[in-house]
Homo-oligomer: A and B are copies of this chain.
């Protein structure tokens, strides 16, 4: 079972004020897209930078997740600090992920430019910020996931196989 970290950064979901929808949307999409056996390590935490950083570090270094996705905390509101937490724990950044997600979202809403989503690498883990809204999560996962399995190959992680009817993973011929 390949562990995948799913981090829900949300003051309201973590305090029980409302039900997590972002994390559930990510799990539903991955369940449809992945044919490799996997297990979700879901963490629902407040929009607190230190807590987000510690959670990402634990999922990367202790739980050995080759892929960690976050939802929430990527907008301009004062409590939105997921990109800062992500950058703080990554050694190298992957700017193409944020660009591609904003480009895909921009075809749907002009406010896509307000998303501060980023992605980066910590050791053998790829960390990707997704938006908070389920419909935007699907748009972003569709935009980036074809490149994710090959990225995880390159950082020495497990081989992820996808259902091509949902997501055509692309691996260049050597």
CB atoms of B92 and A116 under 8 A apart: yes
**Which B residues touch A93, using CB under 8 A?**
116
CB atoms of A75 and B154 under 8 A apart: yes
Instruction: Determine whether A112 belongs to the interface, using a CB cutoff of 8 Å to chain B.
Output: yes
- With contacts A96-B115, A99-B99 known, is A109 near B154, CB below 8 A? no
Per the bound structure, the CA–CA distance linking A81 and B121 in Å amounts to 12
Instruction: Determine whether A50 belongs to the interface, using a CB cutoff of 8 Å to chain B.
Output: no
Q: How big is chain A's contact interface, by range?
A: 35 or more
Residues 126-174 of A at the B interface (beta carbon under 8 Å): 126, 144, 146-147, 150-151, 154-156, 168, 170-172
Q: What 6 A-B pairs are tightest by C-beta distance, nearest first?
A: A96-B113, A110-B146, A111-B147, A77-B154, A100-B113, A110-B170
List chain A positions with a Cβ less than 8 A from chain B: 75-78, 80-81, 83-84, 92-100, 102-103, 106, 109-116, 118, 121, 126, 144, 146-147, 150-151, 154-156, 168, 170-172
